[in-house]
Amino acid sequence: PQTVYLRDYTPPPYLVDHVTLEVALHPTATRVRSTIRFRRNPATGPGHPLRLDGEELTLIAAQVDGVDINAEPDDLGLSIPSHLLPDTPFVWEAEVEINPQANTTLDGLYMSNGMYSTQCEAEGFRKITFYPDRPDVMAPFKVRVTSDLPVMLSNGNPVASGPGWAEWEDPHPKPSYLFALVAGDLQPTRDTFSTMEGRHVDLGIWVRAGDSDKTAYAMDALKRSMLWDEAVYGRAYDLDVFNIVAVDDFNMGAMENKGLNIFNSRCVLASPATATDADYASIERIIAHEYFHNWTGNRITCRDWFQLSLKEGLTVFRDQQFMGDMRSHAVKRIGDVLSLRARQFREDAGPLAHAVRPEAYAEINNFYTATIYEKGAEVIRMLRLLVGPDAYAAALDLYFSRHDGQACTIDDWLSVFSDATGRDLSQFKRWYGQAGTPHISVTEDWVPGADAAAPGGVTITDTTTSNAEAPAGMGGTYTLTLRQDTPATPGQPLKEPLVIPVALGLIGPDGTDLLPTVVLELTGPEQVFRFGNLPARPVPSILRDFSAPVILSRDTTDAERALLLAHDTDPVTRWEAGRDLARAGLERMILNGAGPDAGYIDALGKMLRDATLDPAFRALTLGLPSQDDMAQGLFTAGHTPDPDAIHRATQGLRRAIATVLHDDLAQVYDGMSTPGAYDPGAVPAGKRALRLGALAHLTRLDDGARARALFTSADNMTEAMGAWTALLTVGLGVEETQRFYTRWQAERLVIDKWFAAQVACAAPDRAVAVATDLSQHADFNWKNPNRFRAVFGALSGNAAGFHQASGAGYALLADWLIQLDAANPQTAARMSSAFETWRRYDPARRAAMTAALERMLAHPGLSRDMTEMVSRMRG
């Protein structure tokens, strides 16, 4: 496939002043008439042809200023030579025909379940009409839809409608990727919102008949998002309507089209009986994320797709802040750290590693990655930490006022920050260009003082910025040497030092705070920080609040970890200490055949019993590192991970926890019930998380008695799923699996869970067989991304099952990805990243994984999406 390079960017030679679309919907022969007012871009000079992107379009007719023109499209679009175009503004008119029913890619205009829907990001608009389909061409749109379906929606405000037609007008200039159109037999849930600027906004959530009882939570989340963006960022909504539509067949989570967000049903529909607490939280976050794009993405958009993180990193950071404000900051941050490590660190450590601002791509859809989204958000979080919250707020105000209505770059974003704060960000900028997760290693030194510490507290010296040998004062001196190093990534063998904010606190041997949080700035490859006037040797609490997306290594004793777990005032490093204890114990079990670590289990028991702690936080401390996480950690430390050994060790540790802490777990299970009507709020959800975490352990010892009882009595999906999966994980629950299906077979989102849980919880030697059987089930529809992901996403997530030594997991997934690719390349390519870890494993597994990659690559007609992904992974 052809590669697109950032360095080749040139501005568009023609700009668009206005677009009118007339869309006559028909399942197999939709007609789209476009009337586009173009003018030459004075910045690019004369002589350029007009290049319009267009794919899978049948051109019926084209005119320039009312005169027929003989345009001859190729596979990718058409070009009109400059000499055939006036120098003054002109009108391009074209009529094309498309076939939405035949479009299984779910990109462009497609039809599914009797409704029409669009997906235009990143390059889907070119499948609807000929257009300069690039984000730096922004224009107001007017749309007239005709169809025999009752509901016809598009961007902006409704203008007029009648039987069989509707007109919409969006006055805000927008790039084509934000265009949307929906038509179907949809039911609205309506509400209103008054903005701080006095605008009355009609809100609507449009769903299939039968789903209207599942929209209340999304509507509430939307109103809270609108209010929050006003209160925290000073951003008000700017149209008279805001519509959301739920679509069953959708490649990703949701799409922020101007005034008409389109959502995967899974990310918007919730009722207590059908959605889990995790689903509610995910809906809240995604509703907020798409809404926040109205300012960070839509009003200020990207100049080109290399700048994708400009909108995605910032919008993820904003949704993280929102969720922290709505729920618990600590619990949210720990959840974000877990997901960053599971997805982004994994990506950064393998053949798909790329920079937050990549320099080249073959298929842009392959770059909607954890690096662009989550690492992009971490970079902004670091920027905020370095400049401080007030300067961050001032910079954001400047960003909105300077760039409203523009298509911008990451350089523009950083210029705003240096202008607003006076700070030189040239070194910080490396975070955008350099791939890979930095490793920070820590060494320490302690010199006891001759005298007791003097009043006045700890003195701090950064020896790179000061020549002082040792800080003045009495007491002891603790020296911390930080070294940074980023491993090579594909195409980037050499790395330069980054600006890394390291938030640090010091804790005394008795658990008291010796130094409250300070932010050290690590800018060189190695830097020495001295802390003087200390009364005793401290234990450092490093990377508080996970202040930078790095891998920290320090020779720590289990006693120090236990001290931090018991006393650290920062919840993230406190949780991390427990995690490190668990990891160290598991590594000893895996590598040395050690038994479960009694010290860790003892520390866990203390957390379980500590009623002063938030139950949601306690639930997080109860969780063990995932098996994939363990494999990555072992590989980074120079070992070859054995998925079976990791699975056995994890099971062994769980059994030991259940046995030793049985009474505490039983007490938690009994004490954390949430009587009364189901409430998805963070507090009861935290109690349920802790209770279900305890249940998962207890189910190993009570032959499933508690889980069966809860499964039968549960009035909400969180507890029903928690009970059923607790049974499945220990090889029980056959009858419950059948009952679950019988009860929920009419609820497609619940049946996705039914498929997924059976594969996810299957024993390693059963996972492939379970996935194979389920792929034969009458309800398995491989063309529906949610259902496909339910089975095969769960298979690749079942580490020991997917990595069975026989290679059967790899072969099965490869077969299905080849099949899916022919219908839906985007989803197939996204799911192919299951193979990105092949270099971690032993020769036999490596050979089986690379054989699967080669088989996919050799498949005739493999899409551009898959070809790029598989070739990058193969290396």
Using the contact rule CB under 5 A, the part of the chain among 157-165, 306-314, 337-345, 393-401 near Zn ion is: 306-314
293 or 872, CB closer to ligand HT7? 293
**256, 568, 587, 868: which one contacts ligand HT7 (CB under 6 A)?**
256
Q: How many Cα atoms are found within 13 Å in the side-chain-facing hemisphere of 75? A: 0
Binding window for ligand HT7 (CB under 6 A); candidates: 142-150, 201-209, 287-295, 502-510: 287-295
Neighbours of 46 (CB within 10 A): 10
Whose Cβ is closer to ligand HT7: residue 377's or residue 624's? 377
Q: Which stretch binds ligand HT7 (CB under 6 A): 40-48, 246-254, 265-273, 558-566?
A: 246-254
User: In the complex with ligand HT7, which residue's Cβ is closer, 684 or 785?
Assistant: 785
Contact pattern for Zn ion over residues 307 through 326, marking x by CB under 5 A: -----x--x-----------
Q: Is 319 in the site for ligand HT7 (CB under 6 A)?
A: no
- Nearest CA to 808 among 854, 771, 859, 760? 771
Which of 312, 545, 560, 629 binds ligand HT7 (CB under 6 A)? It is: 312
SS3 for 556? coil
CA distance 229 to 243: 18
Q: Which is nearer to ligand HT7, 13 or 259 (CB)?
A: 259
251 is an interface residue for ligand HT7 by CB under 6 A: yes
Minimum CB separation of residue 218 from ligand HT7 in Å reads 15
249 part of the interface to ligand HT7, by CB under 6 A: no
- The whole-angstrom distance between residue 298's C-alpha and the CA centroid of its chain comes to 19
Of these, 121, 229, 865, 868, which contacts ligand HT7 (CB under 6 A)? 121
**CA max distance for the chain:** 94
- The single residue listed with the structure tokens 């200490």 is 577
Q: Which of 290, 347, 747, 836 binds ligand HT7 (CB under 6 A)?
A: 290
Structural tokens at position 784: 């529906």
Q: Which is nearer to Zn ion, 361 or 575 (CB)?
A: 361
- Non-local CB neighbours of 45 within 8 Å, separated by 6+ positions: none
| 290 classed as catalytic | yes
Query: At a CB cut-off of 8 Å and minimum separation 6, what does 42 contact?
Result: none
Residue 252 binds: one of Zn ion, ligand HT7, none (C-beta under 5 to 8 A by kind): ligand HT7
Least distance (Å) between residue 301 CB and Zn ion: 12
What number of chain residues touch ligand HT7 (CB under 6 A)?
Answer: 14
Q: Which of 139, 207, 252, 572 binds ligand HT7 (CB under 6 A)?
A: 252
Indicate which of ligand HT7, Zn ion, none lies near residue 296 (CB less than 5 to 8 Å, by partner kind): none
The 10 Å CB-count burial string (b at 16+, else e) for 567-605 is: bbebbbbbbbbbbbbbbbbbbebbeeeeebbeebbebbb
| Residues in CB range of 155: below 8 A, 6 or more apart | 141, 143, 168, 170, 174, 178, 179, 180, 257, 258, 259, 260
Residue 554 carries which side chain, given as an amino acid letter? Answer: R
Is 420 in contact with 429 (CB distance < 8 Å)? no
489 three-class SS:
strand
* Binding-residue pattern over the window 362 to 401 for ligand HT7, x denoting contact by CB under 6 A: ---x--x---------------------------------
Minimum CB distance to ligand HT7, residue 122 (Å): 6
Stretch that binds ligand HT7, among 218-226, 247-255, 533-541, 581-589 (CB under 6 A): 247-255
* Piece in contact with ligand HT7 (CB under 6 A), picked from 7-15, 115-123, 765-773, 810-818: 115-123
The pairing of strands 254-255 and 260-264 is: antiparallel
Segment 523 to 582, residues that bind ligand HT7, using CB under 6 A = none
Structure-block tokens of residue 672: 């954390």
Residue 52 binds to ligand HT7 (criterion: CB under 6 A): no
Nearest residue (CB) to ligand HT7, 272 versus 793: 793
Residue of the chain from 40, 208, 289, 845 that contacts ligand HT7 (CB under 6 A): 289
Rounded to whole angstroms, the Cα distance separating 794 from 800 reads 12
Tell me which H or E stretch contains 148: none
Angle at 75 between CA 2 and CA 147, to 5 degrees: 125
* Residue 255, contacted partner among ligand HT7, Zn ion, none, CB below 5-8 A by kind: ligand HT7
Show the tokens assigned to 609. 């019993």
Q: List, as one string, the DSSP characters of 21-33.
A: EEEE--SS-EEEE
Query: What is the nearest approach in angstroms of ligand HT7 to the Cβ of residue 389?
Result: 25
Segment contacting ligand HT7 by CB under 6 A, of 211-219, 252-260, 483-491, 785-793:
252-260
Q: Which is catalytic among the residues 290, 378, 747, 868?
A: 290
The identity of residue 318, as a single letter, is R
Judged by beta carbon, residue 78 or residue 288, the one nearer ligand HT7 is: 288
Q: Which residue is nearest to ligand HT7 (CB)?
A: 252
Q: How far is the CB of 809 from ligand HT7 (least distance, A)?
A: 27
- Report the C-alpha gap between 804 and 852 in whole angstroms: 14
Q: Which residues contact 88 (CB under 8 A, 6 or more apart)?
A: 39
Q: Which is nearer to ligand HT7, 263 or 478 (CB)?
A: 263
Q: Which of 30, 105, 117, 119 binds ligand HT7 (CB under 6 A)?
A: 119
Token code pair at residue 219? 């509507």
Q: Which residues contact 356 (CB under 8 A, 6 or more apart)?
A: 309, 313, 371, 372, 375, 376, 379, 410, 431, 432, 433
Residues that bind ligand HT7 (CB under 6 A): 119, 121-122, 251-252, 254-256, 289-290, 293, 312, 365, 368
Residues that bind Zn ion (CB under 5 A): 312, 315
Catalytic residues, by residue number, are: 290
